[in-house]
Amino acid sequence: MSTVVETDVLIVGSGPAGASAALALSTYGVPNIVVTRYASLADTPRAHITNQRTMEVLRDLGVEQEVVAQATPQHLMGNTTFCTSLAGEELGRVRSWGNDPLVQAEHELASPTRMCDMPQHLMEPVLVNAAVARGTRLRFETEYLSHTQDADGVTATVRDRLRGDTYEIRAKYLIGADGGRSKVAADAGLPMGGQMGVAGSINIVFEADLAKYTAHRPSTLYWVLAPGATVGGIGAGLVRCVRPWTEWLIVWGYDVTAGAPDLTTEYAESVVRGLVGDDDIPVTIKSSSAWTVNEMYAERYANGRVFCAGDAVHRHPPSNGLGSNTSVQDAYNLAWKLKLVLDGTAHPRLLDSYTAERAPIGRQVVTRANQSIRETAPVFEALDGLSPQTPEQLWANIAARKDSTEAAGKQRAELREAIAFKAYEFNAHGVDLNQRYASGAIVPDGTPDPGFARDPELHHQPSSRPGARLPHAWITSGSRTLSTLDTVGRGRFTLLTGIGGEDWLRAASAQDLPVATVVIGPGQEYEDPYGDWARLREISDEGALLVRPDGFVAFRHASAAPDAGELLADALRTVLGHA
């Protein structure tokens, strides 16, 4: 072991967490190296649901359009169907992922972006290519083995799997984005709560033209209630669209206590045949793999100079489609903080806010995703399908709902209700967007927490209270229409004010740190022709919002302030950890 390679940030892993950490850091001009164990990026579709918050992050990092161009659009995602097989009986549908007209309006009001379906094997190259183009140095077939840290940095030992030798990489900070079996998190001793291996699942990737069963009810997900579908897995058999309507991924459970079945092509074909229900359609199996449903989260995301992100610190099933979304958002939260600490603008104390802000979100996501699995059971219960029984008995129970009897009417009502309740998995807009941070990098404004007027898991509630993401409103600049979110980000702090906010503008220009300014009002650089911003901003024209590089409000003052210079300087000192 001779060479020591040096960098500012070493990132272990090129999945959604590591790739977006690299992209954000390179965008901000921070030297970084990514090492990843395998010879390629993700070679199976895995994560796919990409929510509005992630799209906002990608918009700020300049890759939103590339993702939109490759993704399946929102309107083809939304007829989540429950059926006995694709060719079999349909039991009901949920208009999901923002495709219910009422929910769609909430999506449009909440964000300039649209949810989409971007399979992980397409998303990773977009993130990684952009990161490398902006300066990231990427090493495939390079395995992280161990690390030590001291007062000035971290020394990681990695193994070049091609040559077989090991070498050291010296970095000021290490990001462990090495997934659900994170060695970095284990080596850093991050305390974990919860349980791994709650249930067993199999992914089968295959090609088949299933348009005849799907194009008339376009969806990302088709849930199959067939015999055996309640064993392990994620609540039912799942046929997931990877590319409409020819590439697919089946998720099918197994009894985790018995171990994974032998994943032969014959076995995979038999599962596909069972869920598709049409033996005449040609099927090509591409791959199969076994994985477990986990319910685990880290209480702390960092130890000294080592930070973990993504599945390394929150491990949960794909329900609600939160895994890669949360991973991208972890990285985005961490990257600007590392940049400001590395360039000496912020005190390292700023980095404490990473755990304070992201660990509660990770825990919420793990809990939500696992609860969503449990909430599929009532769909089976409505069909008396939970207790062990013969396939014939299950089909008879399912058929019984068509009878003209009081019992069948009750069964139909229960089934409708159980399926509609799955909105908590397929339309949880609040889970996606209602993140509220409380940490040293947020300056409370003394106003009481108003809570949520509606179910906070289902409905987004905008707020400009410190700790909330800046509300989105469409504003104009000349002939250009843009979102308030487009005025912030790009690695900078931004101060938003209105007519009469001159004290705040002077205050912003007097800070050591560059603070971008945005004035919204008639005759100003930005105008609010619909009055949406005035309705959402929760401050007066003369007040101010200080927004962090990640789009979260750090400080808010409702009105004009003759001492604006001092107030803003204090706020920045607090946020940057100098107070």
* Residue 256 touching ligand FDA (CB under 6 A): no
DSSP 140-163: SSEEEEEEEE-SS-EEEEEEETTT
Q: Nearest approach, Cβ of 35 to ligand FDA (angstroms)?
A: 5
Q: Nearest approach, Cβ of 362 to ligand FDA (angstroms)?
A: 11
Structure tokens at 359: 């660990």
DSSP 462-527: ---STTBBPPP-EEEETTEEEEGGGGSBTTBEEEEE-TT-HHHHHHHHTSSS-EEEEEBSTTSSBB
* Residue 428 touching ligand FDA (CB under 6 A): no
Residue from 177, 188, 340, 365 binding ligand FDA (CB under 6 A) = 177
* Residue 48 touching ligand FDA (CB under 6 A): yes
Binding-residue pattern over the window 373 to 412 for ligand FDA, x denoting contact by CB under 6 A: ----------------------------------------
**DSSP run (H or E) holding 173:** strand 166-176
Phi, psi of 176 (to 5 degrees): -90, 100
Residue from 37, 339, 465, 556 binding ligand FDA (CB under 6 A) = 37
Give residue 343's Cα distance to chain centre.
28
Q: Measure the CA angle with vertex 393, ends 390 and 399; round to 5°.
A: 145
Strand, helix or coil for residue 121: helix
Distance CA 109, CA 558 (A): 23
Measure Cα distances from 536 to 473, 540, 549 in Å. Answer: 8, 11, 20
Residue from 11, 322, 431, 488 binding ligand FDA (CB under 6 A) = 322
| Binding segment toward ligand FDA, per CB under 6 A, in 44-52, 339-347, 460-468, 529-537 | 44-52
Beta bridge partners of 249: 205, 240
Q: Nearest approach, Cβ of 38 to ligand FDA (angstroms)?
A: 5
| Binding segment toward ligand FDA, per CB under 6 A, in 76-84, 306-314, 456-464, 542-550 | 306-314
- Of residues 106 and 143, the one with the C-beta less far from ligand FDA: 143
- Of residues 200 and 321, the one with the C-beta less far from ligand FDA: 321
* Residue 530 touching ligand FDA (CB under 6 A): no
* Residue 143 touching ligand FDA (CB under 6 A): yes
| Binding segment toward ligand FDA, per CB under 6 A, in 33-41, 107-115, 253-261, 451-459 | 33-41
Structure tokens at 352: 């404490």
Q: Are 559 and 537 in contact (CB under 8 A)?
A: no
Binding-residue pattern over the window 210 to 249 for ligand FDA, x denoting contact by CB under 6 A: ----------------------------------------
Measure Cα distances from 485 to 55, 98, 110, 175, 471 in Å. Answer: 12, 20, 11, 27, 7
* Helix extents (H) in 61-182: 64-70, 101-110, 120-133
Q: Nearest approach, Cβ of 13 to ligand FDA (angstroms)?
A: 3
| Binding segment toward ligand FDA, per CB under 6 A, in 9-17, 65-73, 393-401, 507-515 | 9-17
* Residue 17 touching ligand FDA (CB under 6 A): yes
- Of residues 321 and 440, the one with the C-beta less far from ligand FDA: 321
Distance CA 228, CA 222 (A): 16
| Cis amide prior to 248 (ω within 30 degrees) | no
| Binding segment toward ligand FDA, per CB under 6 A, in 41-49, 336-344, 399-407, 504-512 | 41-49
* Residue 295 touching ligand FDA (CB under 6 A): no
Structure tokens at 26: 């390179």
Q: Nearest approach, Cβ of 271 to ligand FDA (angstroms)?
A: 14
Q: Nearest approach, Cβ of 569 to ligand FDA (angstroms)?
A: 37
Q: Nearest approach, Cβ of 449 to ligand FDA (angstroms)?
A: 28
| Binding segment toward ligand FDA, per CB under 6 A, in 316-324, 345-353, 517-525, 547-555 | 316-324
Distance CA 76, CA 241 (A): 10
Q: Report helix angle 352-374 to 323-342, nearest 10.
A: 180
- Of residues 33 and 340, the one with the C-beta less far from ligand FDA: 33
- Of residues 49 and 547, the one with the C-beta less far from ligand FDA: 49
| No. of helices (H) and no. of strands (E), the chain | 18, 25
* Residue 202 touching ligand FDA (CB under 6 A): no
* Residue 144 touching ligand FDA (CB under 6 A): yes
| Binding segment toward ligand FDA, per CB under 6 A, in 32-40, 455-463, 517-525, 552-560 | 32-40
Q: Are 246 and 180 in contact (CB under 8 A)?
A: no
| Chain residues that interact with ligand FDA, rule: CB under 6 A | 12-18, 35-38, 46-49, 120, 143-144, 177-180, 183, 203, 251, 291, 310-312, 318, 321-325, 327
